[in-house]
Structure 1
């Protein structure tokens, strides 16, 4: 699968996880006897979530290796993302 499709798929998986996480956090701390205690669909285990974020950084970093001089807004957004991630970003951003 080419990288743009992989990036779109990763972003969709991330959004699904975020929605499931919000749903999970809204549940009562102590569920009642009739409540479903299974995790919501789309909620990733911590290791799977870390891998997803790592993969997304790699895919985004790959996008920066392409000539994006016509899309300076994308470059700036990605630079902000890397700054927010700090040492958690999988590879150093070359600016």
Structure 2
């Protein structure tokens, strides 16, 4: 799969910048999210963009967010099996 489909539930495991201190260690970010748009800031493969909301704190986090992480697509079993089969030449 080369692109993440919109509206797919995704489990995200990453970190994010502490908005209270530039020197602090990143904070854990583990939550269920939904792919909602393609985002103008998303460039290249295997990248994502998190909407942090509005206001000074959200702007502080978003401006420094460049953290690595992992995500898992949450798909119904029959669909996941079909995708795996198509990727394996079946």
> When the two structures are superposed, what TM-score results if normalisation uses the length of structure 1?
0.23
Higher Rg of the two aligned structures? 1
More helix by share: 1
Q: Which has the higher contact order (CA 8 A, sep 6+)?
A: 2
